[in-house]
Amino acid sequence: MPIPIIIVDDNDADRYLIKRSIEETAVDCLVTEFTAGDDFLSAYEDPQHYSAMVPESAAKAMILLDINMPRLTGFDVLERLAETPITRSDFVVMMITSSDNVRDKDRAKQFEFVKAFAVKPLDEEKILDLCANYF
């Protein structure tokens, strides 16, 4: 059962690095990429689009969310996710960011669906841990 993984990061290089990290883990997955928070959210809120990303048969989705993005930041996205009535919810979010800022960590912790916080460059171990705990 491939794990649906959604990457939301505006930086091409970072997205590339995350994908390679995922490849290194050799986990069976279905990866979708977004370059901006609002693009992701419009896809998330459209059931048809969402089904394309996250098949019905999948129990959960993994969202790897960057903090520093143009227009909508990672936190803006989290807030929208928290507001949106949960249709086919069940996702797990890991924040990926450049700086190990305590304030950012604390703010992210307030959302119960954020289960991990990683500093770039992303360590494969982190992905494996997340898979082991939640998938």
Partner 1 sequence: MFHKQLAHFKQGIKSSTARRFVLATILSSSILACFITAIQLYMQYQNDVSQLNADIDQIKKSWLPSLRKSLWSIDEELIRSQLQGILQFDGFEYVSVTTDDSTYEFGSKTGYMRSIAYSYELQREEFSRVWNLGTLEVIVSLDQIYRSLWRQLLTLLLSNTLKTTLVALIIIVIYQSMVGRYIAQLAKFATHYDLGQTQHQPILERNNRVEDEFSQVENAMHSFIANQHEQVEKHRVASTTIATQRDALEESNNQLAKVNEELTHFSYSTSHDLKAPMTSVLGFLKFAKKDIARNELDQAVEDIDLAVVELERLTHRIEDTLALARSELSENKWETIDIKALVKDVWQRVSQSYPQVIVSFRCQFSHSVIPKLVKVRIQIILENLFSNAIKYSSPERPIKKVWLQTENCENQFVIRVSDNGIGIAKEYHQRAFTVFQRFANSPYPSSGLGLAIARKNVEQMGGTIELESSKAGTTFKLCFEIVQPQR
Q: Residues interacting with partner 1, by CB under 8 A? A: 10-11, 13-14, 16-17, 20-21, 24, 35-36, 68, 70-71, 98-99, 101, 119-122
Positions of E strands within the chain:
3-8, 29-34, 61-66, 91-97, 114-119
Burial class (CB in 10 A: 0-12, 13-18, 19+), 38: middle
Is the CB of 124 or the CB of 129 nearer to partner 1?
124
Judge whether 55 and 4 are in contact, CB under 8 Å.
Answer: yes
Is the CB of 32 or the CB of 35 nearer to partner 1?
35
Q: Which residues pair with 92 in a beta bridge?
A: 62
Is the CB of 33 or the CB of 60 nearer to partner 1?
33
Nearest-approach distance from CB 121 to partner 1, in angstroms:
3
Is the CB of 43 or the CB of 58 nearer to partner 1?
43
Nearest-approach distance from CB 101 to partner 1, in angstroms:
8
Nearest-approach distance from CB 1 to partner 1, in angstroms:
28
Nearest-approach distance from CB 74 to partner 1, in angstroms:
12
